[in-house]
Chains A and B, each alone.
Chain A
């Protein structure tokens, strides 16, 4: 039984949120459910939770809500600065590089002409990613100049301003899998391989999950990556290149449905442990 008051920000109850709610109930914790579709903030809003778990599927809602919650004195997981960094691939890549964490090379450009020039400088293939986005959505592997011109033209007309922030990442030839590691605070609790014949290895796109043993080297790079973006409840995505392991993304609203049975680790319970620690009752 805990006397910590814990809020849960959501806009849909996925399997992850359901597992978290059930795990909390077993420990005598009743979440205060905060539906981001209904919540209204004002500049003097005060909240009655000690800690808020941000589980909103919408990045933009999460970002604004976290800022408002934190400025009202609520400890949030993850924090607004962490969400700001992890929710933006440019910010993530820059934070990783500045911290000395191995990460693929990236170029950023703001017009389709300069983006084409950047791609030509990098050489083919390159990966074009939206600066904000998840689940492998709208990612493109650009194999030649014709493809680059076509995709850049399409992105230029997509409508949202952030599609005109062109993020080009070095393509890493990986062994039909990448690694996702779960880092909660200072602990790397488990990791999975995400395997697919396709170059996109998100489980949301059909990749299969299997347990990935945690080596001291893997743990260290994961901890370094988590520290680079500010620590919290994070999923670090890594690629095994020919020469080294590199971090290519860090996720801050972690999905874990495929990783509990796979790893044997009770991920929702570990999340609650961390939340209680942050909330002051660990």
Chain B
């Protein structure tokens, strides 16, 4: 069980989560990057930069 590094809430992370997937904390809405699976570990996702997009 991983906790949100921003607010400490225990995260519900599905079994189908992929490494480097971006998820959102249900409690504080911060974006998190899954840095490892089995067991899941998360870090705060990088903040949006000016050249990001499509």
Contacts and interface: CB of A to CB of B under 8 A. Distances in A.
A-B interaction: yes
A21 B54 contact: no
B22 A12 contact: yes
Interface in B31-54: 33, 45-46, 49-54
A14 B51 contact: no
Given A12-B45, A12-B46, A21 B18 contact: yes
Interface residues of B, number: 14
A10 B20 contact: yes
A18 B21 contact: yes
A153 B19 CA distance: 43
A150 interface: no
Q: Is the interface of A mostly helix, strand, loop or mixed?
A: loop
B50 A160 contact: yes
Q: How large is the interface on A (under 10, 10 to 19, 20 to 34, 35 or more residues)?
A: 20 to 34
Given A12-B33, A12-B45, A12-B46, A59 B20 contact: no
23 contacts: A12-B20, A12-B22, A12-B33, A12-B45, A12-B46, A13-B20, A13-B21, A13-B22, A18-B21, A57-B52, A57-B53, A58-B51, A59-B51, A59-B53, A61-B51, A132-B51, A133-B50, A133-B53, A134-B52, A135-B52, A137-B53, A160-B50, A253-B54
Interface of B: 18-22, 33, 45-46, 49-54
Interface of A: 10-14, 18, 21, 33, 35, 57-61, 130, 132-135, 137-138, 160, 235, 251-255
